[in-house]
């Protein structure tokens, strides 16, 4: 009886989170990646807007040649995140903890017990949502995800932002260009992310149709690369 009750509560929580996080964005028109606000603040639906950059240019400019772009990224100075220098000789969790605009992500990764995994050799490509990105979710969503009872759901959401291997913005752009403007990445969680490149705008779309945009690209790590994004991507929940 107790086990059945726990299963029902876990399922209800997953469905509540899924309902609170659908359709975070609309077609890109105006707005900056880090200052946009939801088009609606309705807690019951969680319909949010993740704005596309006005210029679309991430901090690191992509080049069409993947190998040349990877070499350029490796030799270029590491972008700052939240105004703080990132150390390319340190692993992903160490740099994320130093970034003042990734506090919610770090808290979530810690709660999910993923620090050891993301400190491993990898390599990993991480699409890292900012604090503003998490704030665009419906009120209470982050708190619900952080509850111990929802650890499995939280892990599912976080690993949906991780792709095996080290993929630079130039390589990502080259893949999309070869595919006529789009490419698909398979995440560690198992479900795909659709990537669309239009000029310097790199758009990510999850399986629910939510969209996010890369705002700071090619933040090199000792075990991979981080691309900072302005929206939270969601796998199928429930």
pLDDT digits (tens, 9 = 90+) for 100-140: 999 999 999 999 999 999 999 999 999 999 999 999 999 99
Pairing of strands 201-205, 211-221: antiparallel
CA atoms within 13 A on the CB side of 70: 12
Residue 12: pLDDT above 80?
no
Q: Model's pTM, two decimal places?
A: 0.78
Instruction: Tell me whether the omega of the peptide bond preceding residue 176 falls within 30 degrees of 0, making it cis.
Output: no
How far is the first Cα of the chain from the last one, in angstroms, to the nearest whole number?
A: 21
* Gyration radius (Cα) of the chain, Å: 17
Q: Given this model, what pLDDT does residue 74 score?
A: 53
Q: Which of 190, 219, 185 lies closest to 205, judged by CA?
A: 185
Q: Which residues, in sequence order, are bridge partners of residue 126?
A: 162, 226
């Amino acid at each position: 009886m107790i086990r059945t009750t726990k299963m029902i509560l876990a399922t209800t929580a997953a469905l509540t989170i899924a309902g609170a996080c659908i359709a975070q964005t609309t077609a890109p028109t105006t707005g900056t990646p880090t200052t946009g606000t939801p088009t609606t603040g309705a807690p019951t639906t969680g319909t949010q807007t993740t704005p596309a950059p006005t210029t679309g240019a991430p901090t690191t400019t992509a080049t069409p040649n993947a190998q040349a772009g990877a070499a350029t990224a490796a030799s270029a100075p590491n972008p700052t995140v939240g105004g703080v220098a990132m150390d390319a000789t340190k692993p992903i969790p160490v740099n994320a903890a130093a970034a003042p605009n990734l506090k919610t992500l770090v808290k979530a990764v810690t709660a999910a017990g993923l620090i050891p995994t993301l400190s491993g050799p990898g390599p990993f490509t991480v699409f890292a949502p900012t604090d503003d990105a998490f704030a665009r979710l419906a009120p209470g969503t982050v708190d619900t995800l952080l509850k111990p009872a929802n650890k499995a759901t939280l892990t599912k959401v976080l690993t949906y932002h991780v792709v095996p291997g080290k993929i630079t913005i130039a390589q990502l752009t080259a893949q999309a260009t070869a595919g006529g403007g789009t490419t698909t990445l398979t995440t560690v969680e198992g479900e795909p992310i659709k990537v669309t490149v239009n000029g310097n705008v790199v758009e990510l779309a999850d399986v629910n149709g939510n969209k996010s945009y890369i705002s700071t690209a090619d933040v090199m790590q000792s075990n991979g690369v981080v691309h900072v994004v302005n929206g939270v991507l969601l796998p199928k929940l429930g």
